[in-house]
Amino acid sequence: MKAIVDCNNFYCSCERLFLPHLEKKPVVVLSNNDGCIISRSDEAKKLGVAMAGPYFQAKPLIEKHNVATFSSNYNLYGDLSWRVMETLRIMLGKENVEVYSVDECFLNLDGFPGNDMYETGLKIRETVECWTGIRVSVGIAPTKVLCKAANHLAKKNKEATQCVVVLDTSEKITDALKKTPVDDVWGVGRKYAVKLKYGWNVHTAFELSKLSPEFGHKFLGGVVGVRLIKELRGEPVLDMENELVNKKMIATTRMFGNPVGNIADIKEAVATYTSRAAEKLRRQYSAAKVVSVFVVTKEQDHLLNFNRHGTISSFTTLPAATSFTNELIKPAVELVDQLYDEGQLYKKAGVMLSGIVPDSSIQANLFAPETTNCGRKLMEMIDNINFSQRDDILKFAASGTTRDWKMRQELRSPRYTTRWEELFEVH
C-alpha cells in the first residue's frame, strides 16, 4: 500500500504557526508580487475567497471580513516543509518517502509495522503535527491516483475522517470513486474535464474508471491516459520515484513590480535571475549548456488573454556546459539586446537553463586549467556566504543595485526560522 501525506492549507498553516491568534480565523497568502491568492484557510474558503484569483478582485471581500493577508514567505515555507518531510523520513526510512511538492509526499507503507492502515494513518498525522505543528491529511490506497482521491475525501470531511481515509477494499474504492467528481481526479485538468463531461457524459471518477484504456490512449493524452485509467482501477502503474534525480530544466522568472521600459533595468533583472538560477544549478552539482531568456510585454489590448500573449524568447547554446554565474550572465544579457524593443513596456522576464549535465568542474582536477578550479572555488565561496549571511550580500555587478523592477511584497511575515535577526522570540 501507498500513502500520500498532504499539508492542510500549507502556506496559511505556516503563517499561523507563529501567530496563534489567527487559529480559526480566515487567512490568505498571496503569490509573488502580491498578484494572486495561492493559499486559503478553511475559514477564508468559506467566505468565498477564490483560489488563484487576483488579489485586487478579492480585496473588498478580504477587507470586509478582516481576513489576515500575507505576501509569500518562501524561506519560512521551505524550512517548515523540510521539517515535515524529515519527520516522515525518520518514521518510515528515507527510501520510503518521495517528496512530491513543497507540501506533499508519497509514502511506501509496505513493511511499516501494524496491520490497521487507519491506525497507521492516524499515527503519521499525529506525529507530524506534534513534531512540527503542521496539520496534514493522509490518503492510503494501492495506487498513487487512488491515494490522491482518498486524500481529497479526507480533506473534505475533516471531522468525520480525522483527516485519514483508507481505500483498501474494492467496495471502499468504488464508493470513493462514486463520490469523486471527474474534475477532482489527479491527472484530469481543465481541458480533459470539459471533454469528459460534455463530450462523453462522464461525471465521476467511477465512470472514468469504467472506460477502456484504449479510450484513455485515444482521448486523454496517449500513454498518460492509459496509466490514469489503470491506476483508478487499482492497478499500480506509477511507482515510487527516486528523488535524487536532478532537474532537467531550471528557471527563474518574475513579474516586475511595475512595468519597465528601460533596457538597463531589464538587463539587471535578467542578470539577477541568472544568478539565482545558477545557484540552483550548483546546488544539484550540474552545469547547463543552454541559456534561454524571455520577456513579456505589457498588454496594450486588454481584450487579449493575459497570459501567453506578448512573450518573446530566444536562447543561446554555449560551447560548453558551465555552472559559473559570470559565464551564464554574459549570454543572458546579450539575449536581452536581441529581444528588447525600444519604446515597449515589459511586465515580466525570465531565464531558463537547460541542456543540464553533471558539473565536470566539481572535482577540481589536476588537468583542468587553473582558472576552472579557481572559478569553482569562487562560486562555492559566494554560495556559502550568501547562504549563511543574507541573500545577495555578494553579487555580480551586472545585477545592479537599484532594483526599480523588484517585485512587490508588502505583507511578508518575518523569516522566523531561517534568519537570526528575525528569529521568533518568546518573552
Q: Which of these ranges, 25-33, 85-93, 156-164, 386-394, lies near DNA under the rule CB under 7 A?
A: 25-33
User: Which residue's entry shows cell 518517502?
Assistant: 97
Cα–Cα distance measured from residue 225 to residue 191, given in angstroms and rounded to the nearest whole number: 13
- The letter for the amino acid at 167 is L
Q: Which stretch binds DNA (CB under 7 A): 171-179, 251-259, 322-330, 387-395?
A: 251-259
Q: Judged by CB under 7 A, does residue 102 bind DNA?
A: yes
Q: Do the strands 286-297 and 346-358 form a parallel or antiparallel pair, or are they unpaired?
A: antiparallel
Which ranges of 53-181 would DSSP assign to H, the alpha helix?
A: 55-64, 74-92, 117-132, 144-156, 158-161, 170-179
Which of residues 21 and 302 has its CB atom nearest to DNA in the complex? 302
Residue 33 near DNA by CB under 7 A: yes
Residue 382 in grid coordinates: 559566494
Which part of the chain contacts DNA (CB under 7 A), choosing from 19-27, 85-93, 300-308, 380-388?
A: 300-308
Single out the residue of 137, 252, 274, 399 in contact with DNA (rule: CB under 7 A). 252
Closer by beta carbon to DNA, 348 or else 415: 348
Nearest distance in Å: CB 299, DNA: 8
DSSP state of 181: B
Residue tagged 507563529 (cell numbers): 18
186 binds DNA (CB under 7 A): yes
Q: Determine, following the binding rule CB under 7 A, whether residue 45 of this chain makes contact with DNA.
A: no
Interface with DNA (CB under 7 A), residue from 160, 249, 304, 381 = 249
Part of the chain binding DNA (CB under 7 A), chosen from 27-35, 41-49, 206-214, 375-383: 27-35
DSSP state letter for 199: I
261 near DNA, judged by CB under 7 A: no
Question: Using CB under 7 A as the criterion, what x/- string covers residues 112-151 for binding DNA?
Answer: ------------------------------------x---
Q: Would you say 4 and 128 are in contact if contact means Cβ atoms under 8 Å apart? A: no
Question: Which ranges of 162-311 does DSSP label H, i.e. alpha helix?
Answer: 170-179, 190-194, 200, 205-209, 213-219, 223-232, 263-283
Cα–Cα distance measured from residue 312 to residue 303, given in angstroms and rounded to the nearest whole number: 19
**Site size for DNA, by CB under 7 A?**
48
Site string (208-227) toward DNA, x via CB under 7 A: -------------xxxx---
Look at strands 311-322 and 286-297 and give their pairing. antiparallel
37 neighbors 52 (Cβ within 8 angstroms): yes
- The whole-angstrom separation of Cα 333 and Cα 246 is 26
187 counts as binding DNA under rule CB under 7 A: yes
Residues in touch with DNA (CB under 7 A): 31-33, 35-36, 38, 52-54, 56, 100-104, 148, 185-193, 221-224, 247-255, 273, 280, 298, 302, 306-307, 347-348, 350, 407
